[in-house]
Chains A and B, each alone.
Chain A
Amino acid sequence: MQLIRTVLFGLALAVTASAAEPGTQAPGFSAKTFEGKQISLADYRGKIVFVDFWASWCSPCRESLPLYDKLAADFGGDDFIVIAVNLDETAADAKKFMAEHPVKYTVVQDPDGDIPKVFGVSGMPSSYLIDRDGTIRQRHVGFSKKDVDMLRAEVTKLLGKPAGAS
């Protein structure tokens, strides 16, 4: 009985601990870009980081990429960083899409889905806005064009705040 209770408690803990909620510290990850460069989330500490999970087969994701690219370009790309995590199982699918719709921001590949597992991604696309201290400020599932305006407002707000001032 005691064993069952311990196992259940452990499972419950594992489930609650796995999701990356707003207000909590973003889980760290590192992955390779399509050019073979290894990057890690920790490299961007002190900057506003937008992590976007996408795949070439997900149509709202396809719509979002050029808009995020424009957003990143508008903010200058120095203090606001976009990291797109591609979840295509076949790299060729992603490469084909990126050849047709090139983006300037960093795109890393995670064909095994290890990073979304740690973040507890519940739908596609999913995005996380992380502040200078590494805290998740916003989590968003799905995509519509007006989401970009909300994101733009939030990023502008965060860019005005120095690290440590939450």
Chain B
Amino acid sequence: MTEGPRIGKDEWVARSGENIERHRLLNAADRVPGWARLVLFCLFVAAIPLVTDDGYVNVIVFDTLIFCLLAIGLNVVVGWGGLLDLGYIAFFGIGAYTYAILSSDKFDIHLTSPLVMVICVVFGALIGLLVGLPSWRLSGDYLAIVTLFVYQIFISIVTNGNDLFGVDLTGGVNGIANIDPFDLFGRGIPVSHEGIFNSNYIYLALGVFVVVFAALYLVNHSRIGRAWRALREDELAAELMGMPTDWLKLLAFAFGAAVASLTGGLFASLKVGVFPESFSLTLLITVYAMLILGGVGSQTGAVLGAVAVYVFLEALRDPDVSGWVFYIAIVLALLLVIRPRWMVAGVLAATVVFGFVVHALAGAIDDTWTTTASPEADSVTRFLDAWVVIPTSPGDSRTIAYVGLVALVLLATTVKGVWRWLALVPTLYLAAFVWENVMSEQPDVTRFVLLGAMLVGVMVTRPSGLLGERRVEIV
């Protein structure tokens, strides 16, 4: 039976090999052993406080580690268990409030932090088990809605927690302030001394991260991890192959919740105060974005996604950086969309010419419609001011331009042939106008718009995320 004519020799398999070869660069990351990746990452992070004592940078490093923890925790539930959990941030909040209640002047309880962390993990896991119960009957979108509801319950409880049956538990909208800093068996670690951020917090977060990452990695490479992924792929088949799917779902929820809760405790120890609005839906969506960008199901991907998204978001607070990102993103998008590629140069050149003409016309009609940069400004600023129309008092023109841009983008994507080229030039110019007059002035909104654009771009070119291990859906 082993020796037979080779009927139906699978070309599929052969081609799959080729495919893997083609993405060798990205797959090379897969071949580096897990521990080596972890060590490299840790060395890099640990070196940052040694290089700079800039408090702003160091806090970003700490927060990035917090997000890394959140992302690898969410990866257990969503990436391995395949359970869409929209209540995830509630567990982060539960951990933070647990730390705040057990380690502050609020009730005058001051437990040592390692003990509080253990309580955070156990308490979070228990609540996770409870929240996981609906997953026995619900899947997909339905489970997502129910867990979102759990999140809402959490927010309701903490915002109204200043009068829970006559007890002030959470301080309501005012939250809990003056939380103790991390306390190692009586030896407190101050958040800052002499106004400089205490980099021990980075090492603390890094330590927690390493332990959690390694633990999750080991669980994933065991029968439980395999069963989780089998459950994600096909619940019925997993059950029929002898895996107790109900229990595995609860376990996945408990793991995710425990990691989020622990992270919450760590977060609270640095932030000195916890408030309901720290646990917003935006935070949930950001963590999901990190996981999806990095590749759902890949632990390294989750970390990569967390670092990329958070550093990106922070960098975009600076309008200069975000301007560069905006223009580079547009050129990249054109390179992706326009065929043949040399047409990109044509379109860009036409846009530049178009811009100077419009600028000259606007300047000729009314002086206040344009701005002239001072001669000391750098060349980029001078070019932009000579090219983009920047009215001194924009008024309603900003709103009109914004709406017009949306209309033009729709037009440019619907029309065909030569009309598309004609529509593209004013669209690009209007985009620059909107950027310089509207978006660059509101970095808080803009950075999320740009993050969205980046996600769309990555998802189009690599649907499974940077290091995603899920490659096909059930066919």
A and B from one assembly?
no
